Amino acid sequence: SINGFIAVRQALGRPRGMLVTTTGSGGTNYWTSSSGVTYTFAEELRALGFSIVQIRWAANWLESSPGNDAGQAQLGCRPGTVIKHIHDTYYRPLGIYPLHPGEAGFAMTGNSGGATQTGYALSHYGLDEIIDVAIPTGGPPHAALAKSCMNNPDEQAYQFQLETREFIDRGFGFFNGNGPAVQHSASFIPRWLQASHSTGGNDYFHPRTRLHFIVGEYDLQMQATASDYYQRLVTEGTPYVQWQIAPGTAHGVPATAAGRAAIKAALLQTWPVSTGFSRNADSVTIQWSSIEGRSYQLQAKEQLTESSWMNVGDPTVASSTSTSVTVPTSAATQRFYRVQLLP
């Protein structure tokens, strides 16, 4: 067992949600300790009404002990336990109950191995019952371990370097630098499949949890690896799941302005209920359920694979439980739409 620590900073003003953050590699640092800009970003989110709870570990949570064939999925009970404790001890007393699917609520984000902590909580430990929004960034890198630890020519985009494969081996109890991942041992593929987010989980249908993956434009390995998990969720019918590429960004998504903007937008977004469309010769009307008095922004983009959304008209303040925006037919053609819940 290892010790874990949490740091809690309450929202500034009336709380609207809680963001739990985790960090990469062995998770031994707090999220805001990575850089001054991350600390400033956390303070910005606090000003928007989010309490920030950070998790860090005294030692590498992804390591087992010599000879103990635990595997990363089993080790995922460590962050899963802490996440449940934070929810029950710090979030539940706030009395915040999101009215829209995917509204945060109780939210998670973490980069690289931090995304792994969130991923196991959902894929292996059933915490979609309490997590409203999950924003994995730069990962999770443990989504497709069989591809990442082998050396098949057609899976090069997934493949880990030697140092990372040694790291993976320590999760299965191999500390001698010559474990199955180092050796590309095909006999170990079943264990890697069990320990991967996209293949070994017991739950890929999350009817009320919104997942928003954000991967850097230059992080080609995580674009391949994390997409396996994303595609599994889509295939299994999870309704609120999105994929976004942060422009000008490498592996550390929170390190760039574009990455932080994407995280903020994902945190603030909601997924409207009962979105409807009506059309006549001159216009298309887009309608969604709303909370009276809250502000919404209709957004659009021309292709679903594009990373940027553009605002359509001005923000709309809901005057009832149903809100609509009318767009000229010529402008509405071949567009994808979403609604952003504003602060």
pLDDT at 278 over 80: no
Mean pLDDT, the chain, integer = 90
DSSP 8-state secondary structure symbol assigned to residue 336: E
Torsion angle (degrees, nearest 10) of CA 22, 27, 32, 37: -100
The whole-number pLDDT of residue 312 equals 85
Q: Residue 255 corresponds to which tokens in the numbers above? A: 């390190």
Percent of the chain with pLDDT over 70: 93
Global pTM reads 0.81
Q: What is the mean pLDDT of residues 68-76?
A: 96
Q: How far is Cα 214 from Cα 167, in angstroms, rounded to an integer?
A: 24
Is the link from the previous residue into 141 a cis peptide, with omega within 30 of 0? no
Tokens 């009404």 map to which residue?
Answer: 49
Q: Which pLDDT value is given to residue 171?
A: 97
Write the DSSP symbol of residue 150: S
The predicted pLDDT at position 272 comes to 56
pLDDT surpasses 90 at 271: no
**pLDDT of 306 above 70:** no
What token pair was written down for 27?
């998770």
- For residue 59, what pLDDT band results from cuts at 50, 70 and 90? very high
The answer, yes or no, to whether residue 340 has pLDDT greater than 80, is no
- Provide, rounded to the nearest whole percent, the portion of the chain with pLDDT above 90: 71
Whether residue 307 has pLDDT greater than 80: no
Q: Is residue 260 predicted with pLDDT exceeding 60? A: yes
Q: Which of 123, 159, 163, 134 is nearest to 144 (CA)?
A: 159
Across-strand partners of 137? 111, 214
Query: For the ranges 296-300, 328-332, 335-339, which has the lowest average pLDDT?
Result: 328-332
Q: Is the model's pLDDT at 49 over the cut of 70? A: yes
pLDDT tens-digit series, residues 126-156: 999 999 999 999 999 999 999 999 999 999 9
Tell me what pLDDT residue 334 has.
Answer: 59
The model's confidence at residue 273, banded by pLDDT at 50, 70 and 90, is: low
Listed in order, strand segments (DSSP E) in 184-335 are 210-216, 241-246, 276-279, 283-289, 295-301, 310-311, 316-317, 322-328
Say if residue 280's pLDDT is above 90.
no
Query: How many CB atoms lie under 10 A from the CB of residue 274?
Result: 9
Average pLDDT estimate for 203-231: 96
Average pLDDT for 265-282: 73
